[in-house]
Amino acid sequence: MNTVGHFHSNKPWSGTATRTSDIVNPSTGEVSGKVTLASKDDVDTIVEIAAKALPGWAATPPAKRAAVMFDFRDLLKKNIKELATLLSAEHGKTLPDAMGEIARGIEVVEFASSIPQALKGEYSEQVGSNVDSFSVRQPVGVVAGITPFNFPAMVPLWMYPVAIACGNTFILKPSEKDPSVVLRVAELLAEAGLPEGVFNVVNGDKEAVDALLDHPKVEAVSFVGSTAIGEYIYKRGTSNGKRVQALCGAKNHMVIMPDADMDQVTDALIGSAYGSAGERCMAISVAVPIGEDTADRLIESLAPRIRALKVAPYTDSTSELGPVISKQSFDKIHDYIDQGLEKGANLVVDGRGLKLQGYEGGYFIGGCLFDNVTTDMSIYQEEIFGPVLSVVRGKSYDDAVNMVNDHEYGNGTAIFTRDGDAARDFWSRARIGMVGINVPIPVPVAYHSFGGWKRSLFGDHHIHGMEGVRFYTRLKTMTTRWPSGIRTGAEFNFTSGKDA
């Protein structure tokens, strides 16, 4: 059976720890491999390697670092099918979906290829007499990334291309549920010419994560995952003096105005609520139609489409959604459905009890649709992370805006309408990090930045784009006087350029 280890010095490394965790094929429920869980000593070894590679890489001209990213991008494109197959086999998502996530990740590599432009700095001539001032951005140091199972290729790609292009060295701790794709990507980075020690992978669980959070040579940590773990990582990392960004859980509302095109809304909800089995932090999990008539039309349009969804393993090219990731997730989603029923929500489409021939042990759940959900129910308040959409019937537009703003999460939201006034008011008032207008999953492109508000993000920076550059660099500002021979005498007071 295949055992997935770690990666450093541009080579796979099995480490010294003996603990392992099963990798389970979610389509069958069978163990398909094992992943090694690093000990603190293994993490220390990898941090030292990353720290040793840092000075040379930080001093490498940005254009040379960008050249590695160019070649890496070509290799990702060339190998995208192989990468997507590896990814789908462990995650369960459909092949086109896996290809899509890698393609979005490649866009971040393209952004990182333009890093000399982003690192240009600023210069002000003559801020005082013969005094100039300039600012540069320098790498933070050794950076760690801790990533979730749901985008095993794309979420790491949000981080390390920008971090590396900025001159940092990087240690990635992927999800132990689907770790293989990242190791293949690490080989491609080596093939692209990245020097040894610049990109490293350590597989593991809490022990490895805590060792990274406590290691004095790790300067910054990017985390993407659930809110409970993200908050813990943020607190522990920052209390150790590190820079931390933690992108976390979500409950994304789509507000449907009475004037919205219902066919367009239905298409948008089918993709955004059920694509990837709802295991996306930008999935729409709450629909808020405004007014009873809009709600009735929505349910009528949506229900047959959900019933017709093709649920199948990724090996079936007609599959529209695959299994959820684990038995634990499968049980948790069922538990939420029970809670919704107990509290009186109306389960219009029930995707439970699905048995696929030949895949009886798989974690498949068909699309589920709840109507008449209220804001006091757990299925409204908590992230289910499965193919379950809740419809909360909104009394008015203001009622919907309040729902969006009062929810503890603030990752994404969308409004569907033909009314420009409503759309503008909505994006302006929503206390949410990413807003879509007639766009259900408003994931920003790579040269903008991704991130939520409220309990969907701990820390000050969003990820990738210029926010990524700011997170992975420190600002340094110089004030210079040339020619140096001019005497100003001792200055006891602060002076400004205007005094000169």
Segment interacting with ligand NAD, rule: CB under 6 A, options 45-53, 150-158, 252-260, 374-382: 150-158
What span, in angstroms and rounded, lies between the C-alpha atoms of 299 and 369?
Answer: 9
Yes or no: say if 283 and 314 are a contact pair by the CB < 8 Å rule: no
What span, in angstroms and rounded, lies between the C-alpha atoms of 244 and 202?
Answer: 19
Judged by CB under 6 A, does residue 272 bind ligand NAD? Answer: no
CB of 304 to ligand NAD, least distance (A): 29
Give 50's contacts (C-beta < 8 A, 6+ positions apart).
Answer: 8, 142, 169, 170, 171, 197, 198, 200, 217
Contacting ligand NAD (CB under 6 A), which of 98, 157, 221, 248? 248
CB of 451 to ligand NAD, least distance (A): 7
Residue 205 vs 267, nearer CB to ligand NAD: 205
Find the catalytic residue in 166, 248, 281, 368: 281
Give 360's contacts (C-beta < 8 A, 6+ positions apart).
Answer: none
Helices (H), 202-356: 206-214, 227-239, 262-274, 292-307, 327-342
Site pattern 301..330 for ligand NAD (x: CB under 6 A): ------------------------------
CB of 404 to ligand NAD, least distance (A): 16
Judged by CB under 6 A, does residue 250 bind ligand NAD? Answer: yes
Residue 28 vs 411, nearer CB to ligand NAD: 411
Give 198's contacts (C-beta < 8 A, 6+ positions apart).
Answer: 50, 53, 57, 164, 169, 170
Q: Using alpha carbons only, what angle is made at residue 26 by residues 446 and 247, rounded to the nearest 5 degrees?
A: 30
368 is catalytic: no
Contacting ligand NAD (CB under 6 A), which of 53, 76, 98, 146? 146
The dihedral of CA 154, 155, 156, 160: what is its sign? positive
Contacting ligand NAD (CB under 6 A), which of 39, 113, 169, 175? 175
Judged by CB under 6 A, does residue 37 bind ligand NAD? Answer: no
Segment interacting with ligand NAD, rule: CB under 6 A, options 10-18, 25-33, 220-228, 434-442: 220-228
Judged by CB under 6 A, does residue 225 bind ligand NAD? Answer: yes
Q: What does the block give as tokens for 449?
A: 């930045």
Q: Which of residues 456-495 bind ligand NAD (CB under 6 A)?
A: 456
CB of 280 to ligand NAD, least distance (A): 7
Q: Which of residues 396-435 bind ligand NAD (CB under 6 A)?
A: 411
Q: Which of 123, 83, 127 is nearest to 105 (CA)?
A: 83
CB of 251 to ligand NAD, least distance (A): 9
Contacting ligand NAD (CB under 6 A), which of 27, 28, 88, 147? 147
What is the number of the residue whose Cβ is closest to ligand NAD?
225
Q: What is the DSSP letter of 500?
A: -
Residue 50 vs 119, nearer CB to ligand NAD: 50
Yes or no: say if 149 and 325 are a contact pair by the CB < 8 Å rule: yes
Contacting ligand NAD (CB under 6 A), which of 155, 288, 369, 435? 155
Pairing of strands 218-224, 142-146: parallel
Q: Which of residues 178-217 bind ligand NAD (CB under 6 A)?
A: 205-206, 209
Q: Which of 474, 38, 59 is nearest to 215 (CA)?
A: 38
SS3 sequence, 14-77?
CCCCCCEEEEEECCCCEEEEEEECCCHHHHHHHHHHHHHHHHHHHCCCHHHHHHHHHHHHHHHH
Contacting ligand NAD (CB under 6 A), which of 385, 397, 416, 426? 385
The identity of residue 366, as a single letter, is G
Give 409's contacts (C-beta < 8 A, 6+ positions apart).
Answer: 227, 249, 250, 251, 252, 383, 452, 454, 455, 456
Judged by CB under 6 A, does residue 28 bind ligand NAD? Answer: no
- Dump strand ranges (E) for 350-420: 368-371, 388-391, 409-410, 412-416
CB of 224 to ligand NAD, least distance (A): 5
Question: At 213, phi and psi to the nearest 5?
Answer: -65, -25
Contacting ligand NAD (CB under 6 A), which of 9, 226, 301, 339? 226
CB of 283 to ligand NAD, least distance (A): 8
Contacting ligand NAD (CB under 6 A), which of 26, 145, 148, 440? 148
CB of 450 to ligand NAD, least distance (A): 6
CB of 18 to ligand NAD, least distance (A): 18
Judged by CB under 6 A, does residue 363 bind ligand NAD? Answer: no
Site size toward ligand NAD, by CB under 6 A = 27
Contacting ligand NAD (CB under 6 A), which of 72, 111, 149, 363? 149
Q: What is the DSSP letter of 445?
A: P
Distances in Å between the Cα of 19 and the Cα atoms of 39, 176, 201, 204 are 8, 12, 17, 9
Residues labelled catalytic:
281
Where does this chain bind ligand NAD (CB under 6 A)?
146-151, 155, 173, 175-176, 205-206, 209, 224-226, 229, 247-250, 281, 383, 385, 411, 452, 456
